[in-house]
Amino acid sequence: MTGTRSYSELSKLKTFEERFEYLKIGDQNVGEETFGGRRYLNQQFYSSHAWKKVRDEVIVRDLGRNLGLEGEEIGSGSKILVHHMNPVTETDLREFRPCTLDPENLICVDKQTHDAIHYGDISSITRLEERKPGDTKLW
């Protein structure tokens, strides 16, 4: 994926798989400490009133659904994460750039999906199959 991702473009995609492909990063070094010794920048930002306000707005917009998709509700056993579709840099946080709080750059995900976006591996996501009348198979 090259270019800037946006919620407007993402919302045109109809399936989970299409949305995942649009968002996946895949080449990020997951496991490395974000911002190294400057992680306090993340903590300050994610504790701010401005972030909490926009986070709540995005959860309402997406109805608490994984990738904002109907039928992909994030269950009560999972935490709703609000993911920056375009990675945020140290400079973005230091300068409090608009991209950090722009709903066009944000989407609801669960932890599995969030991690898979960074690894670029959809196979790590466990999803329930759709139930149909007469279905006797346990998930």
Q: Does residue 41 belong to any structural domain of this protein?
A: yes
Which residue range(s) make up the domain with 99? 7-124
Q: Which residue has the higher pLDDT, 77 or 60?
A: 60
pLDDT tens-digit map of 34-56: 566 677 888 889 999 999 999 99
pLDDT tens-digit map of 54-74: 999 999 999 999 999 999 999
Amino acid identity of residue 128, one-letter, is L
Residue 92: is its pLDDT beyond 60?
Answer: yes
Q: Does residue 45 belong to any structural domain of this protein?
A: yes
Domain total in the chain: 1
- Residue 1: pLDDT band (50, 70, 90) is very low
Residue 10: is its pLDDT beyond 90?
Answer: yes
3-state helix, strand and coil shares in percent for the chain, rounded to the nearest 5: 45, 5, 50
Q: Does residue 107 belong to any structural domain of this protein?
A: yes
Q: What string of H, E and C letters represents the secondary structure of 40-75? A: HHHHHHHCCHHHHHHHHHHHHHCCCEHHHCCCCECC
Instruction: Return d(Cα 67, Cα 104) in angstroms, integer.
Output: 13
- Residue 81: pLDDT band (50, 70, 90) is very high
Instruction: Return d(Cα 105, Cα 85) in angstroms, integer.
Output: 5
Among the listed residues 61, 112, 118, the one whose alpha carbon sits nearest the alpha carbon of residue 84? 118
What global pTM score does this model have?
Answer: 0.82
Q: Does residue 132 belong to any structural domain of this protein?
A: no
Among the listed residues 87, 125, 131, 93, the one whose alpha carbon sits nearest the alpha carbon of residue 109? 125
Amino acid identity of residue 39, one-letter, is R
Instruction: Return d(Cα 32, Cα 34) in angstroms, integer.
Output: 6
